[in-house]
Amino acid sequence: MLQAIDLTKKFGRLTAVDALNFEIKAGEFFCFLGPNGAGKTTTIKMFTGLVRPTSGRALVGGHDIQLEPVEAKRLISFVPDSPFLYDKLTPVEFMTFVGQLYDMKSDVLRRGVAAMIELFDLQEVHNQMIGGLSHGTRQRIAIAAGMLHDPRIFIIDEPLVGLDPRSARMVKNILKKRSQEGCTVFLSTHLLSVAEELADRIGIIAHGRLIALGSIDDLRKQHGKIGQLEELFLELTEEEAAERAAALAGT
């Protein structure tokens, strides 16, 4: 459902994403990990058509996002780490607006909005202005709106930011269930415990390069590591940083 082929993005002399190659299958829950500035968000923006690759290709459901943007974007829902919501709309109005953008039929849209309001426990605020709601509630509204049209691919960046433990558990359960029902979930996060709990496979990126790819057990076997994901992540990224520093010193 998602495929990176030599996917590269340069900003002047900086290579933010360096020749990524990987693919994510239908129904897979994939977690994308990396230090700050590693290239995670730039990769996501190339898959969603918000940033044009310098070279390489980003395929969405077999469609090149640059050559067939409409066909590709019909398959996607994207919730960024700081989603934009219209403060003067209510949750119901906002979700209705999003559904109309995807040409949902009015009766299907009406039932879908009602289902999302219930699923994300928004009954008490469904007719209040979004501008007066808490950050965590706004996050739930954004995720609910993203799921409204039943996308085949759900891309989400730091979904649990600002959520209390109960809401965080709700969102994790919903995302995992969607994946089990066949939706491909691409989740970028700094919360290693979330990746360890939910991911079918994990990709670790550092300085724009993919340094590890596979299930947690696969990564332990491939790299001869033991222990929790946190230990594995720290060792791999520190080794990559040391190798990079040594290479730069030799130039």
Q: What is the pLDDT of residue 162?
A: 78
pLDDT at 92 over 90: yes
What is the per-residue pLDDT for 209? 95
How many residues are present in the chain? Answer: 251
Residue 231 has what pLDDT? 84
| Residue 45 clears pLDDT 80, i.e. is over it | yes
Residue 160 is predicted with a pLDDT of 87
Distances (CA, A) of 224 to 30, 194, 199: 22, 23, 20
Tokens of 240: 């990559």
Confidence of residue 251 (pLDDT cuts 50, 70, 90): low
Strand-pair partners of 24? 2
Secondary structure E strands in 152-214: 153-157, 184-188, 201-206, 209-214
pTM for this entry: 0.90
| Residue 145 pLDDT | 96
User: C-alpha angle with apex 93: 174 to 143, nearest 5 degrees?
Assistant: 20
d(CA 31, CA 22): 13
According to DSSP, the residues that pair with 29 across neighbouring strands are 185
148 residue type, one letter: L
DSSP assignments along 56-117, one per residue: EEEEETTEETTTSHHHHHTTEEEE-SS----TTS-HHHHHHHHHHHTT--HHHHHHHHHHHH
- pLDDT-wise least confident of 39-53, 194-208, 237-251: 237-251
133 touches 120 (CB < 8 A): no
Q: Higher confidence at residue 251 or residue 71?
A: 71
Interval 147-205: pLDDT, tens: 999 999 999 998 888 788 999 999 999 999 999 999 999 999 988 989 999 999 999 99
Q: Which of 80, 67, 73 is CA-nearest to residue 48? A: 73
246: confidence class by pLDDT, cuts 50, 70, 90? confident
Cα 210 off chain centre by: 16
- For the chain, the distance separating the N- and C-terminal CA atoms, rounded to the nearest angstrom, is 39
Q: Is 90 exceeded by the pLDDT of residue 82?
A: no
DSSP type of residue 128: S
Q: What is the pLDDT of residues 65-81, one digit of tens each?
A: 999 999 999 999 999 98
- In terms of Cα–Cα distance, which of 207, 213, 209 is closest to 232? 213
pLDDT digits (tens, 9 = 90+) for 205-236: 999 999 999 998 888 888 776 678 888 888 88
